[in-house]
Chains A and B, each alone.
Chain A
Amino acid sequence: MSKTIFELSSAGRAGATLPPREIDTPLDKLIPQKYQRLRAPRLPEVSELDVMRHYISLSHKNHFIEKGLYPLGSCTMKYNPKIHELLVRNSCFANLHPYQPESTLQGALELLYELQKDLSEISGMAQVTLQPVAGAQGEFTGIKIIEAYHKAKGNTHKTKIIIPDSAHGTNPATCHLVGFDVVELKSDEHGRCDMARLREIVDENTAGFMLTNPNTLGLFETHIEEIAELLHSVDALIYMDGANLNALLGIVQPGKIGFDIIHFNLHKTFSTPHGGGGPGAGPVGVVEKLIPYLPVPIMSKDDNGYHLDYAHAATSIGKVHTFYGNFAVLVRAYIYIKMLGAKGLRRASENAILNANYLQKRLEAYYHIQHKEYCMHEFVADGSWQKKENGVNTLDIAKRLLDKGFHAPTVYFPLIIPEAMMIEPTETESLDSLNAFADAMIEIAQESKENPELLHEAPLTTPVRRVDDVRAVKVLDPIFKIEK
């Protein structure tokens, strides 16, 4: 295991040089002693080379897209083009201050304005806010808009939001954060919303409905027209969680088929890097009647140029970010969209769907698949056969995949499929890499019969062996104890 950066520290070393003091006022004349700290923070004292070696050595312990397939369902781990990285680092993006006069930000504002327009077209929505910085914050923004809409209409009785049991955990967590009661909707035997049950639970108190489409089983919610009619008949709004939008580019415009609000995950669908957990971006699109509630500012254009527009501040839900969102992430998504164009976006979704169906077909004889039909961009297989017959569970299968150079699928999710493995290959994988992954999965199915012990012990070849995350909770160790 690598030493921590603190253990590499040696008094007097430094990894950066600073200019000499041009003005040398003593500290006590600047800041009264009573505010000063007595003990300096014990940051590491290391050279630039020490720092480089340390972090590069850490980097070698990560799986990443350029290393191998990353089939995490609903995470859309597609390739992140390098031109994004080159262009976003332009000083006239990187060194812009958010409070610069508008006249000095025209190029940046034009880019944001065009991105708003393109995302509106892709989603079929009337307007888009780029401010939310993550999918979950997009959800938060969308649910706040539902709250504001009902408040403006005097709908104080509307206290509940319906969410299918296949939804991501962020959906119920977000509704709770905004203050709505969550009503869970069971899925039917086809993996879709149970319409009979939905008719029972929709009533005058229903404020909205959150639906991931395609859902987390990789299935398109076929009944969307009935769902929209039913919800709209009680003036409830329909929110589309856009986590799986990579299946629909140029195929379906959600705003044209009954959805009122959608969030995008630019770090999934529009290929901005995941960064080991972020930053992402979670813009939100809405239909015409909800534009007044969008966060401020939005980008607008008139004869004088592009503007940070606060005109609807009185009706807006306010702000969800200190400034205008994750600008550098937005730039990358803009480049991606401009380079693909309408045909390229459609082609991306088509190939994502093709690749998922191909994998599903190759694996169906080896792993149980609950919902056997054509999938969209992802599908859910599970380890229930292996568990029953060989005492091997999905976690074992996931860990064995790591040994074979692949990342694991999303496991134990959605919660409605026991031993679930949610597999999303994305369109950027080639047939060769799909075959290599399928071969590995089939090998593992074989190994689980012949040598289940091997799977219990997996992974064997990774930088560390199976990590004890129970101990990480029991013996909580969140910071290094610095001694020197």
Chain B
Amino acid sequence: MPYISNTDKDRQQIFAKIGIEEFEELIQAIPEKFRLKGELNMDPALSELEITHKIQSQTCRNICSATANSFLGAGVYDHFIPAAVDSIIQRPEFFTAYTPYQAEVSQGTLQFVYEYQTMICELTGMEIANASMYDAASAIAEAVLMAVRKNRLSKAILPASLHPSFVEVIKAYTEGIGIELLTCPAKDGKLDLEALEAMMDESIGSVVMQNPNYYGNIEEAAEISEIVHSQPKALFIASVDPISLALLEAPALYGADIVVGEGQALGNNMYMGGPLFGFFATKLEMARQMPGRIVGGTLDAVGNRAYALTLQAREQHIRREKATSNICSNQSLCTLAAAVYMSLIGREGFKEIALQSAQKAHYLAEEICKVPGYSLAYPNASFFKEFVVNTPIPAQELIDKLLPYGIYAGVKVGEHKLMLAATEKKRKAAIDDFIKALKEVSHV
């Protein structure tokens, strides 16, 4: 039997020690009629060789983004991952370890989390970060909840330019407890500043901004921040693409109070959208309101530098229903990938990756707009690595027609609107192939 060491002889020894004749004696507490008669109805067990064949037959029926010519983004991005990342996260010392509650035998995990927290603060300009949330969506939801804890104001404004799946998750996390979600409309693919200004009053607890937003456009973060802070109690929550922070202003510097985002692009494979991880950073003054685990530096009994989980009195295992969040398991190994990734890519490489992504995306946009019938949907907005184009034929039809070419054209965001992303991994030749195919299928 796989992964079980006890032989029949061992079992007999265990039976003798416990003083039983048969296993059923141990489960007498389970009422007889509740015990399963016979076996679970499942396929026969497979050996390692057989499961390998089965998985191979399944993966063969997937066409991955590595073989296709993909322009998909919308929250998950295909950035380059150096080989050393996987080499580290495959170390059982990291991946079969538990949560670092016993600090003395978890210093490896604790120190990498501390370093990860430092890197996130470096990217965002904030003062404290936690050890991760599940994804950007749950991180924004937790940020909204934290804002309510801080200022006791139960209205939050979400922009229409926020990822629709984020909105769904935020709704699930907030609707039952009296938090009112308001939607600030978009204008020309960006948060409508005048509308926001009109919506702000002293009852608003927080305002969320995604930057670049769902459509890839760069928001007027500084102006939004000013409008939000016209109400002294309101908190400004920014959800940002971490790669964009190589080029775009650190959110702390435009006045964000809580900075979150989707971390997948930092060294994690796409895996059909999971695992992802949400990063979560804020100001020190709100440390005690934060959700999730936090690692801090400290000393051991003989005065050596050491690390430990800190501010645990916020957490569910101590505070139960008064905890700041119910989160327990987080996405720790994904943050290890992120920390290793950021270490390898380094200061210059990080900027180069962001720059090349922007260069490729802008080249892609320019070439698409040269094809008759196509134009940028938001010509007045600036974008980083993702953008929306107007399509002469319905976007879904275009996606379907390009599929036989091995092209994942992008995400439909309107009847005649297609959103495309490019990263540094996209070769110019692949973009040119795409344009050629686009011309062929676009003859109306």
Select which of B26, B27, B145, B172 is within 8 A of A320 by beta carbon.
B172
CB pair A322–B3 under 8 Å, yes or no, is no
Q: Does A154 contact B (CB under 8 A)?
A: no
**Interface contact A31-B308, CB-CB below 8 Å:** no
A314 within 8 A of B: no
A25 contacts across to B, CB distance below 8 A: 359, 362-363
Query: Which among B253, B293, B327, B356 is the interface contact of A37 at CB below 8 angstroms?
Result: B253
B321 touches A172 (CB 8 A): yes
Q: Do the beta carbons of B64 and A43 come within 8 Å of each other?
A: no
Q: Does A92 lie within 8 Å of B59, measured CB to CB?
A: yes
A382 to chain B, nearest CB (A): 18
- Smallest Cβ distance from B396 to chain A, in angstroms? 10
Say how far B336's CB is from chain A's closest CB, in angstroms. 7
CB pair A23–B169 under 8 Å, yes or no, is no
B275 on interface, CB distance cutoff 8 Å:
yes
The answer to whether A31 and B3 touch across the interface, beta carbons within 8 angstroms, is no
Interchain nearest-CB distance for B141 vs A (Å): 9
B347 touches A374 (CB 8 A): no
A89 within 8 A of B: yes
Interface contact B39-A338, CB-CB below 8 Å: no
Whether A274 and B98, one on each chain, are in contact in the complex, defined by CB atoms closer than 8 angstroms, is yes
Q: Which one of A216-224, A386-394, A442-450 is at the B interface?
A: A216-224
In chain A, what residue has the closest Cβ to B23? A350
Q: Which 10 A-B pairs have the closest CB atoms?
A: A323-B273, A341-B45, A98-B273, A275-B333, A430-B5, A277-B332, A59-B93, A107-B58, A107-B61, A15-B344
B74 sits at the interface (CB 8 A): yes
Residue A13, interface by CB 8 Å: yes
B294 closest partner in A (C-beta)? A478
Q: Tell me whether A16 and B165 are in contact in the complex, defined as CB-CB below 8 angstroms, given that A105-B272, A327-B271, A345-B40 are known contacts.
A: no
B102 touches A97 (CB 8 A): no
Asked if B316 and A170 sit within 8 Å, CB to CB, the answer is: yes
Question: Do A121 and B72 touch (CB < 8 A)?
Answer: no
Q: Are B96 and A431 in contact (CB under 8 A)?
A: no
Partner of A16 from the list B82, B249, B363 (CB cut-off 8 Å) is: B82
A40 interface hit (Cβ, 8 Å): yes
The answer to whether A374 and B326 have CB atoms under 8 Å apart is no
* CB atoms of A37 and B65 under 8 A apart: no
Q: Give the CA-CA distance A459 to B317 in the complex, in Å.
A: 24
Interface contact A469-B310, CB-CB below 8 Å:
yes
For A34, list chain B residues within 8 Å (CB).
Answer: 222
Contact between chains at B82 and A1 (CB < 8 Å): no
A300 interface hit (Cβ, 8 Å): no
A24 within 8 A of B: yes
Contact with B along A104-144 (1 / 0, CB 8 A): 11111011000000100110000000000111110110001
On whether A479 and B114 interact (CB within 8 A), knowing A14-B346, A31-B382, A472-B308, the answer reads yes
User: Is the pair B128, A479 in contact by a Cβ cutoff of 8 Å?
Assistant: yes
Asked whether A107 lies within 8 Å of B275 as measured between CB atoms, the reply is: no
Among A255-299, those with CB < 8 Å from B are 256-257, 267, 271, 273-280, 282
CB atoms of B51 and A79 under 8 A apart: no
Q: Does A381 lie at the interface of the complex (its beta carbon under 8 Å from any beta carbon of B)? A: no
- Bound Cα distance A93, B14 (Å): 42
Interface residues of B in 4-40 (CB under 8 A from A): 4-6, 10-11, 13-15, 17-19, 23, 25-31, 34-36, 39-40
- A24 and B359 in contact, given A121-B42, A136-B316, A350-B23 (Cβ under 8 angstroms): yes
> In the docked arrangement, what's the CA distance between A266 and B74, Å?
28
Given contact pairs A324-B272, A328-B274, A430-B6, A253 touches B36 in the complex (Cβ within 8 A): yes
Interface pairs (14), CB distance under 8 Å: A36-B247, A48-B84, A59-B93, A62-B108, A63-B105, A101-B408, A104-B403, A107-B60, A168-B317, A169-B328, A275-B97, A361-B18, A374-B18, A467-B104
**Would A45 and B348 count as touching, CB distance under 8 A?**
yes
